[in-house]
Chain A
Amino acid sequence: MQKFLILITVILGSIQLNAQQAKVVKFPELNDLINSKSDKIQVFNFWATWCGPCIKELPYFEAAREKMGDKIEVNLVSVDFVEELSKVNKFITRKNLKSNIYLIDDIDYNSWIDKVDTKWSGAIPATLVINTTTGERTFVEHELKEGELEKMITELIN
């Protein structure tokens, strides 16, 4: 029995070690990410654990990262309340998400939504793809259909 418990502890411990955790950021940090130069196409997806359409489209982002990881960087930005951080982290573990994950802890939405993209109304899911070298960007505010994300990305790859 004791051996079994130790085994369980070790397994759980290793899951904890390997699992990604969401990095809590304020808007200025996210703004820097959006505006910094990078060799890779930057993909930002705004989502939340309580948002059904967001969860449905998450696999597209993971698949794109898997397939085009040398050309793109995928940033999943959760708008869950910071009090829900452990719930978000559990979700990340359960879904085994490998993309960069942030949780934006900046409740004054009106102060930053337009800075992400003026076309954004604030509804999620929302996705922004940027080629930071050319400055070209594509923004959409709806649940992505199969193939849509890949198209958005390849259109911006030179």
Chain B
Amino acid sequence: MKTKILSLLCLALFFAGTPTEKTYQIGDAVNDFTLKNIDGKMISLSEYADKGAIVIFDCNTCPYSQAYRERIKALDAKYAPKGFPVIAINPNDPNKSPGDSFDKMVSYGKEHNYKHAYLQDIDQSVTRAFGATNTPHVFIVKKDDGKMILNYIGAIDNNTRDAKAADKKYVESAVDQLLKGEKVETNKTKAIGCSIKWKEA
């Protein structure tokens, strides 16, 4: 009995020491989330996604997000009808980045005629779970047997400055492959971006 308690205690201590901040990797099922959209309604990944979704951590204030704004709108226009809508999520702490407050998100979305979801992750828990580090940072999920499986992490394409000069369109290729039932060939890329403005710990 004593040994049993002791081993249980050891087990408990072991788990207590394990870091809890594990982020999603390719192939993982992501947990559902519900966040507030700029139209005031709550949106859940599970309801909003059709065949899947293009989740993009994005914001008002980052010049690289601004550089990709029209491309993000175009992704939604092209892929929402095919079952992969864009879900943009603003991860920034509005205290650290006042230009990313909910009110500013609403006016930014209006100004730029957003048709896609633009949600605020006010407690940053979704951002942490995905392991997003910068804006814009893309995560493509595909519905598989009721689960949302992560299939791509990274950049939109290989030219932030000039959409026309981009000759590797990572997100488009990935979604096209998923729509054909294929595996995503390039499923991890990186790009320079603005660091996420985290709340003070």
The interface of chain A, by Cβ under 8 A from chain B, is: 46, 48, 50-51, 53, 79, 81, 83, 107-111, 113-114, 120-125, 141-143
Q: In whole angstroms, what is the CA distance A108 to B155 when docked?
A: 11
Q: In whole angstroms, what is the CA distance A120 to B134 when docked?
A: 11
Contact of A110 among B162, B191, B195 (CB under 8 A): B191
For B134, what are the chain A residues with a Cβ–Cβ distance below 8 Å?
A: 121-123
Main SS class of interface, B: loop
Closest CB of chain B to A63's CB: distance in Å?
Answer: 22
**Contact (Cβ within 8 A) A123 B155:** no
Q: In whole angstroms, what is the CA distance A114 to B160 when docked?
A: 17
The answer to whether A110 and B154 touch (CB under 8 A), given A53-B195, A121-B133, is yes
For B161, what are the chain A residues with a Cβ–Cβ distance below 8 Å?
A: 81, 83, 107
Q: Give 23 A-B contacts (CB < 8 Å), ordered by A residue.
A: A48-B63, A50-B63, A51-B194, A51-B195, A81-B161, A83-B161, A107-B165, A108-B158, A108-B159, A109-B160, A110-B168, A111-B158, A113-B192, A121-B190, A121-B193, A122-B134, A122-B191, A122-B193, A123-B194, A123-B196, A124-B194, A124-B195, A143-B195
Contact of B158 among A79, A110, A122, A123 (CB under 8 A): A110
For B189, what are the chain A residues with a Cβ–Cβ distance below 8 Å?
A: 110
For A120, what are the chain B residues with a Cβ–Cβ distance below 8 Å?
A: 190
Closest-by-CB residue of A relative to B137 is A121
**Contact (Cβ within 8 A) B159 A123:** no
Q: Which of B120-170 contact A (CB under 8 A)?
A: 133-134, 137, 154-155, 158-162, 165, 168, 170
Residue among B63, B161, B162, B196 with most chain A CB within 10 A: B63
For A79, what are the chain B residues with a Cβ–Cβ distance below 8 Å?
A: 192
Q: In whole angstroms, what is the CA distance A111 to B195 when docked?
A: 20
Closest CB of chain B to A28's CB: distance in Å?
Answer: 17
The interface of chain B, by Cβ under 8 A from chain A, is: 63, 133-134, 137, 154-155, 158-162, 165, 168, 170, 189-196
**Contact (Cβ within 8 A) B190 A109:** yes
Q: In whole angstroms, what is the CA distance A4 to B138 when docked?
A: 56
Closest-by-CB residue of A relative to B196 is A123
For A141, what are the chain B residues with a Cβ–Cβ distance below 8 Å?
A: 133, 195
Name 17 extra pairs, CB < 8 A, besides A51-B194, A122-B190, A123-B193. A50-B63, A51-B195, A53-B195, A107-B158, A107-B160, A107-B161, A108-B158, A108-B159, A109-B155, A109-B191, A110-B168, A110-B170, A110-B190, A113-B192, A122-B133, A122-B193, A123-B134
Closest CB of chain A to B181's CB: distance in Å?
Answer: 26
Closest CB of chain B to A115's CB: distance in Å?
Answer: 11
The answer to whether A113 and B190 touch (CB under 8 A), given A81-B161, A107-B159, A108-B159, is yes
Closest CB of chain A to B105's CB: distance in Å?
Answer: 19
Q: In whole angstroms, what is the CA distance A124 to B160 when docked?
A: 15
Closest-by-CB residue of A relative to B167 is A108
For A122, what are the chain B residues with a Cβ–Cβ distance below 8 Å?
A: 133-134, 155, 190-193
**Contact (Cβ within 8 A) B158 A109:** yes
Q: In whole angstroms, what is the CA distance A50 to B159 when docked?
A: 18
